Amino acid sequence: MRTDNRGAMDSAHARFSGRSNIVVRLAEKLDLSTANVVRAQLRAVERACEIDLSRVRSIDSAGMTELATLARRLGPRSVRLRGASAQFRHVLERAGLQALFDLSPAP
């Protein structure tokens, strides 16, 4: 994994910010074309984390599956979604997945 000077990773990669906080920042697309990369990075996450969706412009069922898989593995509400658009939240609700995630604003 490639990191920057804060110990963070960019694009569709996990950013490990400090020892206690894990922030996963995802790039513009979270879909079938990026699912393998995202899946490989999310497998490295072993504890509660925050997913930054602020740069994600498109997501499909493959992307939703990767997020839901992570949330199920870590436990309910162990994954905070930051920067989730109203449309994305609506899709989570319609899919019955909102209970898996912490959708509260970041502190």
Name the band, by pLDDT with cuts 50, 70 and 90, for residue 2: very low
**92 within a domain of the structure (yes/no):** yes
What was the pLDDT predicted at 10? 42
Range of the domain at 83: 27-102
Tokens for 87, please give them.
């449309």
| CATH number for 42 | 3.30.750.24
**12 within a domain of the structure (yes/no):** no
For the whole model, what pTM was predicted? Answer: 0.80
Residue 52 has pLDDT above 80, yes or no: yes
What percent of the chain lies above the pLDDT cut of 70?
79
**85 within a domain of the structure (yes/no):** yes
pLDDT one-digit tens code per residue, 11-26: 455 555 555 678 888 8
pLDDT one-digit tens code per residue, 54-94: 999 999 999 999 999 999 999 999 999 999 989 899 999 99
Q: Report CA-CA distances (Å) from 16 to 20, 61, 94, 95, 102.
A: 9, 26, 31, 29, 19
Domain total of the chain: 1
Q: Label the pairing between strands 58-59 and 49-52.
A: unpaired
